[in-house]
Amino acid sequence: LAAAAALFSSVGYTATSTYAIAERAGVKQASIYHHFRGKDVLLRTLLLDTVRPSLDLADELLDAPGDPAARLWALCDADARWLADGPVNIGGLMQLPEVEGEAFAEFHDERARLRARYDALVAAVLGRPDSTRPAEATLVFGLVETVITARRSGGAAAAQEVAPLVADAALRVLGLDAAAARRARSGAADLVPETPGVPGDPGDPDRSGDGAGGARRASAG
């Protein structure tokens, strides 16, 4: 998975063969087919392994008590940090035409669930709990994904620095002033006291995934 992520991000999905992935990973090509039907399954696995930690956190925050602004800040910050981190930045690949195919339907379903959690938290912040998709939620979701571009242009460290600023900006988009945003940031620390682990970080066996990390979904919409 780590080898596939590195090749997909450097030479592209179409130009990457399972032979090249096996060679980079130091295994026989047949070993890949023992676990994955083809490279589309590899890419789908990478996508699912990176969207699911955000979705799990979103589920927890949606049901948590307390200030919805703090809960939304916590989700934006953690999600942006996951996008910013990992050995490679595969976020740009999520816009490839191939990802729109049926092979990636499960990923799109999971992404839609994550988007729904954002919608619900944004509606709570706005005091519109009955709103199924506030227009402002599209802006919030898009702001989080600007970290993909930040990493592409400035590297992982720069993208990590952008993450809390993105969370601040998300609340400002919703009309909260600077003081309210600071209170939300402070409250978020109690909800997520430590920076969540990077999906797929090979240095931590307790984290999900298999060494890919990076970004995990298509552009907001």
- The domain ranges of the chain are 47-191
Q: What is the pLDDT of residues 107-121, one digit of tens each?
A: 999 999 999 999 999
- pLDDT grade for 85, boundaries at 50, 70 and 90: confident
In 127-177, which residue ranges form alpha helices assigned H by DSSP? 135-173
CA dihedral for 65, 68, 73, 78, sign (positive or negative): positive
- pLDDT grade for 193, boundaries at 50, 70 and 90: low
167-195 burial string, b = 16+ CB within 10 Å, else e?
bbbbbeebebeeebbebbbebbeebbeee
What pTM, to 2 d.p., does this model score? 0.81
Whether domain 47-191 has CATH 1.10.3470: the reply is no
- Tokens standing for residue 107: 């990923």
Region for residue 155 given its phi and psi (left: phi exceeds 0; alpha: psi -120 to 50; beta: otherwise)? left
